[in-house]
């Protein structure tokens, strides 16, 4: 059971209001929202004003509220991401059966790689270190997303990120990172050569929708095992996976 005392009450109040607005068939006013949510009218008005400013809700000329474009966009994004996983999942499962290696599906979120789903091949000890998010500059999927940045976007990213040296192989030079990103743009393939974690190597390919990169698929595993199984074979397998899924998106 969740301890409500540890939850942020403002966030809870915001979602009470959003839930009530979403549940109504027509726009709803401050007084009715205060009554339905059992929140003080001043609190409801203050939160509504903030939500309106950020586009989460819209207010009409009668001071009535309905769900706004930002919330609708979040819903569409979630639907799209679920569709992406559903389309890719059977081919991810085929990939692990064929290669015995892990395959990950990630999207760009807040200048990080957010992993939506992973299919596991053979287990390995580094598995515990694979987090739901990863930096762009030292991950193969991250370099795929960086390869889709404009020059201005890439420069802005580099101004605000610390190229922290996680391993001896981590790229901490702006010039070298730009070269790796350029190579990823040209070859549609990116690498993490033990840059994020010692002993762990990855290769990633882009996934497209309407000509725009929407996700990256990466194969990851112990460097020694990938070498034994053959880099060329693994590389071709992830390329084939990308080409197959891109035909369906």
The CATH number of residue 86's host domain is 3.30.450.40
Same domain as 135, residue 37: no
The CATH number of the domain holding residue 37 is 1.10.10.10
For residues 244 and 249, give the distance between their C-alpha atoms in angstroms, rounded to a whole number: 9
Domain boundary at 67, 91, 107, which?
A: 67
User: What is the model's pLDDT at position 48?
Assistant: 94
Same domain membership, residue 179 and residue 108: yes
- 10-residue mean pLDDT profile of the chain (249 residues): values are 69 92 89 93 94 91 88 69 88 95 91 90 57 89 97 96 96 97 97 95 95 94 91 95 93
Same domain, 222 and 111: yes
Query: For residues 105 and 88, is the Cβ–Cβ distance under 8 A?
Result: yes
Nearest to 105 by CA among 128, 134, 76: 134
209 and 107 co-located in one domain? yes
Query: What is the per-residue pLDDT for 80?
Result: 66
Structure tokens at 249: 């998106």
Residue 126 maps to a domain: yes
The domain in which residue 11 lies consists of 4-67
The whole-number pLDDT of residue 110 equals 84
Residues 121 and 152 in one domain: yes
pLDDT at 1: 43
Whether 220 and 108 share a structural domain: yes
* C-alpha span between 194 and 222 (Å, rounded): 9
**In terms of domains, do 20 and 105 share one?**
no
Nearest-CA neighbor of 88 among 186, 185, 206?
A: 206
Q: Where among 17, 34, 67 does a domain terminate? A: 67
- Are 118 and 180 in the same domain? yes
| Cα–Cα distance for residue pair 229/234, rounded to 1 Å | 7
Same domain, residue pair 22 and 130: no
Give the strand order in the sheet containing 200-209.
133-135, 112-119, 102-109, 212-222, 200-209, 190-193
Into how many domains does the chain fold?
2
Task: Identify the pLDDT of residue 129.
Answer: 45
Q: Is 166 helix (H, G, I), strand (E, B) or coil?
A: coil
Residue 88 lies in a domain: yes
């Amino acid at each position: 059971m969740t301890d409500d005392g540890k939850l942020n009450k403002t966030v809870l109040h915001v979602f009470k209001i959003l839930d009530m607005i979403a549940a109504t068939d027509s726009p709803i006013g401050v007084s009715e929202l205060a009554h339905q949510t059992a929140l003080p009218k001043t609190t409801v008005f203050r939160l509504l004003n903030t939500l309106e400013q950020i586009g989460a809700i819209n207010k009409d000329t009668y001071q009535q509220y309905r769900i706004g474009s930002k919330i609708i966009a979040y819903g569409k994004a979630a639907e799209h991401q679920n569709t992406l996983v559903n389309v890719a999942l059977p081919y991810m499962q085929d990939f692990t059966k064929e290669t015995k290696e892990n395959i990950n599906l990630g999207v760009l979120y807040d200048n990080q790689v957010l992993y939506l789903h992973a299919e596991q091949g053979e287990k390995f000890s580094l598995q515990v270190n694979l987090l739901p998010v990863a930096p762009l500059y030292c991950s193969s999927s991250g370099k795929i997303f960086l390869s889709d940045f404009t020059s201005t976007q890439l420069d802005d990213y580099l101004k605000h990120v610390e190229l922290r040296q996680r391993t001896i192989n981590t790229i901490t030079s702006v010039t070298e990172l730009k070269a790796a990103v350029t190579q990823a743009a040209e070859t549609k393939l990116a690498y993490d050569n033990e840059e994020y974690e010692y002993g762990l190597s990855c290769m990633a390919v882009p996934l497209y929708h309407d000509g725009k990169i929407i996700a990256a698929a990466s194969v990851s595993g112990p460097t020694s095992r990938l070498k034994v199984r053959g880099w060329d074979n693994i590389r071709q397998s992830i390329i084939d996976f990308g080409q197959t899924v891109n035909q369906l998106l």
